[in-house]
Structure 1
Amino acid sequence: MKIGILSDTHTKVKKAKATLDILIENGAEFIIHAGDIVEPEVLELLKNCGKKYVAVYGNNDAHLVSFHNKYNLVQEPNYFKLANTKFKLMHLPYYMSPDAEVVVFGHTHKFHSEFNNGTLFLNPGESCARNKPVSECALLEVTADKFFVTYYSKKKKDDFFKAKEFSYKRKKK
């Protein structure tokens, strides 16, 4: 299963749409937003992208609580199972314990992909291109024996996203 992951869209709705589009174009079957959604329009993009999704509140999302029942918004840490894999989703990197096979987080605005003792820790970076002139996202492909991470980045002046791939062998259960 291919899972599209974005985070830290902030006020950049067009950049959020571009990152969602690249994930869907590359086969994302499910979308995860790791917080700091900020704009209700980003929630609409998620709801209308044609894929199932989940989004976690970030430290800049308290005002979105009035939309809680309209969208698939969750509080951190949120645990769920997808593709026979236990996920933990959060925005703030405060719950970094390896109590899931995949730990998805945001907040730092820095791409991070690390496989440590059977747990993949994954931050897709910032979609908003706020802290650096780059929009980022990640596509996670989950198979029975591996995690494949494709990191997408696009400089503000570029017309297309560049991809970099990572592969991790899963531990047998």
Structure 2
Amino acid sequence: MRLLLTSDTHVPARAKRLPDALLAAMDEADVVFHAGDWIDEATLDLFEARSRRLVAVYGNNDGPGLRRRLPEVARVELAGLRFGTVHETGAATGRERRCAARFPDLDVLVFGHSHIPWDTRAPGGLRLLNPGSPTDRRRQPFCTYLTLTADAGALRDVTLHRLPPRR
């Protein structure tokens, strides 16, 4: 099962449109995860129309319309793995321990907020994945998103994709 992970799209506040590479990856994915900070309901509409299956949450910058349509935490079981998605996980220091305590029933937690790609394991095995942002790199060298494969209870081919600078 091919998965696409993204977060913090911030359209149209930080970018006028989504990168073509992200849209192409969305078309190839069996499941798309978005960890919040959409800003615009039209972007959610686009993801819903284009994704075979969408697992998504709202972020701290999302207004009442998005909060009515999306949960704060989403959970789904795919290919023998228990996934969760949330926007914020707090400070980087202690993140693994905090998330393992908050989400003891998950195998993988997809999160956003920092715009900083993250791939670690918590005590007990919880995998924490932050895809960064495809539209706002902040202090990172590139805008990014993640793709991976989930199969028979395992993650494979976890790939951080760097996007070319916007013109």
Same fold (TM over 0.5): yes
Contact 2:58 2:67 in 1 (8 A): no
1:46 deviation in Å?
0.7
Superposed counterparts of 1:108-147, under 5 Å: 108-116=114-122, 117-131=124-138, 132=140, 134-144=142-152, 146-147=154-155
Distance 2:51 2:57 in 1: 19
RCO comparison, higher one (Cα < 8 Å, 6+):
2
Q: Which consecutive unaligned segments of at least 5 residues does structure 1 have? A: 159-173
TM-score by length of 2: 0.79
Question: Which of the two has greater helix per residue?
Answer: 2
1:138 deviation in Å?
0.5
**Of residues 71, 79, 82 in structure 2, which corresponds to 1:74?**
71
Alignment RMSD (CA, Å)? 2.3
1:113 deviation in Å?
1.0
Superposed counterparts of 1:15-164, under 5 Å: 15=18, 18-24=21-27, 27-65=28-66, 68=69, 73-76=70-73, 78-94=74-90, 96-97=99-100, 98-99=103-104, 100-116=106-122, 117-131=124-138, 132=140, 134-144=142-152, 146-148=154-156, 149-156=158-165
Q: What is the aligned length?
A: 151
Q: List per-residue Cα deviations over 1:51-105 (Å, max 9, x = no partner).
A: 110210100012324761xxxx2222x3221222111110001461252100110
Question: Which of the two has greater strand per residue?
Answer: 1
TM-score by length of 1: 0.76
Contact 1:129 1:135 in 2 (8 A): yes
Of all paired residues, the percent bearing the same amino acid is: 29
Q: Which consecutive unaligned segments of at least 5 residues does structure 2 have? A: 91-97
Q: Which runs of 4+ in 1 moved over 3 A?
A: none
